[in-house]
Amino acid sequence: MALEGNLQNMALSDLIQVFHTDAKTGILFLKGTHERGVIYVADGRLIDAVVVRGKERTIVATRDEAVLQMLTWEQADFIFRYEPTVRKRPIRIVHSGQCLILEGMRRHADPVRTLSYYNITPETILHLAALPRNVRSGVRLSIDQWRILSWIASGQNVHTICQATGLDVPAVTRLVVELMAIGLVEIAPCLSAATEPAYRDCTMIASAAPVYAHDVPYINKNSRSFSNVCGTMRQVCSEIDLLDVITRCINQL
Amino acid sequence: MTTHVLKIVITGGYATGKTQFVRSISDIEPVSTEQVLTATTERALKHETTVAMDFGSIAINDQITLHLFGTPGHERFDFMREHLLVGCLGYVVLVDSCRPAHLPQTQHLLFRSMELTEAPFVVAANRQDDPTALPLNYIRRRLGLPFNVPLVPCVATDRTTVRGVLLTLLKHIAARLTLHS
């Protein structure tokens, strides 16, 4: 009892559309080359998601950011299982599936905008995010993520963290973005207005291209040879009219 | 007394439920040509597959009998489908609602079948009892089916829905005949 396939045959955006239009409930598992993702769906709405990496299952992203990351995947096996208990899970995804699809398309078209790399400079000051009440434990961090987190806790900027940890700026930026995706870290409030994600306003990206691209024109054929088939069948049913036979079939089947 | 035989073909991609469809509705014990699968990738879905055809029969009354021919699903047995479609009154194309990867194959099969015969057909979306099944409108769009081709929900193990598919096909054939007459 599951929907199975590969993103090459059915894109995640299509799956999200189907979940929404058919009010599906269940858990979608995706298995990419290096990462795995899970999306929880309740009555067609995306309520929670997570992306993990490697055998250690290090959390790379959660909630909206996890869905956005998965929308950029082109190759992954998926399986969607019906699971009614998902409805009892807390809703942790803020945006609608449609909004996330549009933002995912925008990021796909402009990879520079992927995540918040372009917002983080050596002068960026970071701080710990306030965790929601319903947050659950189970987050596993790598050693480098822990090291970065410990410096962020003391309100340092990226440049200071680089000096303290001995990591270069790109590496620290990548780790900070991963911690932001998990929801543990935020850019300090003085810069938050400039770094607000654009996808909070869906109207900005409403003019994006249509999601569906699989339609194939149907070959409309004339029906001359069908009458030949009917002629053959008339020979078989030599004594009665074919239409009469079919009508009787319909009535008696 | 003369017996009139009407030939209906059940076709579709690999592991879409064609054999089960014939078994569910046939009055007689169906004639099957099932063989054990050897390819590991194919065994993930089922252990036996049809290599020639399935045959079932429905006696409408003393005079009229419907003969159902199920085709093999493998592309390497396409020649059997071509043989079986000759002279058919109409055909059913089965599609698995839970395997989107099979939709392009079904679309190819549809085009190929329309080249071989212009007999009327309906598409039956199997496994619609599964809560994760793809909705009919999505299947129609992916297959590029126009709205004048019926797309019917189906559960191949359920005789009632199988009967519904055949009734839809017969009504579709009757409508086409009325149009041509």
Domain ranges of chain B: 4-180
Query: Which chain B residue has its CA at the smallest distance from A244's CA?
Result: B174
pLDDT at A211: 30
Instruction: Give phi and psi for B34, each to the nearest 5.
Output: -85, 135
Give residue A207's identity as a one-letter amino acid code.
S
Hey, how many other C-beta atoms are within 10 angstroms of the C-beta on A23? 12
Token pair of A86, please?
Answer: 């998902």
Beta bridge partners of B7: B67
- Residues of chain B with confidence (pLDDT) below 50: none
Tell me the DSSP string of chain B.
-PPEEEEEEEEESTTSSHHHHHHHH-SSPPB--EEE---HHHHTT-SEEESS-EEEEEE-SSSEEEEEEEPP-SGGGHHHHHHHHTT-SEEEEEEETT-GGGHHHHHHHHHHHHHH----EEEEEE-TTSTTPPPHHHHHHHHT--TTS-EEE--TT-HHHHHHHHHHHHHHHHHHHHHH-
Domain ranges of chain A: 1-114+199-228, 115-196
Cβ neighbours for B6, distance < 8 A, ≥ 6 positions apart? A233, A237, A245, A246, A249, B64, B65, B66, B67, B89
Give residue A1's identity as a one-letter amino acid code.
M
A135 and chain B: CB distance < 8 Å anywhere?
Answer: no
Any idea which fold B4-180 has? Rossmann fold (3.40.50)
Whats the size of chain A, residue-wise?
253
Tell if the CB–CB gap between A224 and B118 is shorter than 8 Å.
Answer: yes
Work out how many CB contacts closer than 8 A connect A with B.
129
Rounded Cα–Cα distance for residues A189 and A192 (Å): 5
Hey, how many other C-beta atoms are within 10 angstroms of the C-beta on A13? 21
Query: Which chain A residue has its CA at the smallest distance from B88's CA?
Result: A229
Tell if the CB–CB gap between A5 and B61 is shorter than 8 Å.
Answer: no
Pairing between β-strand B121-126 and β-strand B90-96 as defined by DSSP bridges? parallel
Query: Which chain B residue has its CA at the smallest distance from A6's CA?
Result: B101
pLDDT, block means (10 residues), chain A with 253 residues: 90 94 94 92 94 83 89 91 92 89 79 57 80 62 85 82 86 82 73 42 34 33 49 51 70 68
Q: Does domain A115-196 have CATH number 1.10.10?
A: yes
pLDDT at A229: 52
Tell if the CB–CB gap between B167 and A250 is shorter than 8 Å.
Answer: yes
pLDDT at A138: 65
Tell if the CB–CB gap between A214 and B114 is shorter than 8 Å.
Answer: no
From chain A, pick out residues whose CB is under 8 angstroms from the CB of B14. Answer: none
Q: Across the interface, which of A217, A221, A248 has its CB nearest the CB of B64?
A: A248
Beta strands per DSSP E along chain A:
2-6, 26-31, 35-42, 45-53, 58-62, 77-82, 126-128, 185-187
Going by C-alpha positions, the residue among B96, B21, B27 that lies closest to residue B53 is: B21
Hey, how many other C-beta atoms are within 10 angstroms of the C-beta on A122? 14
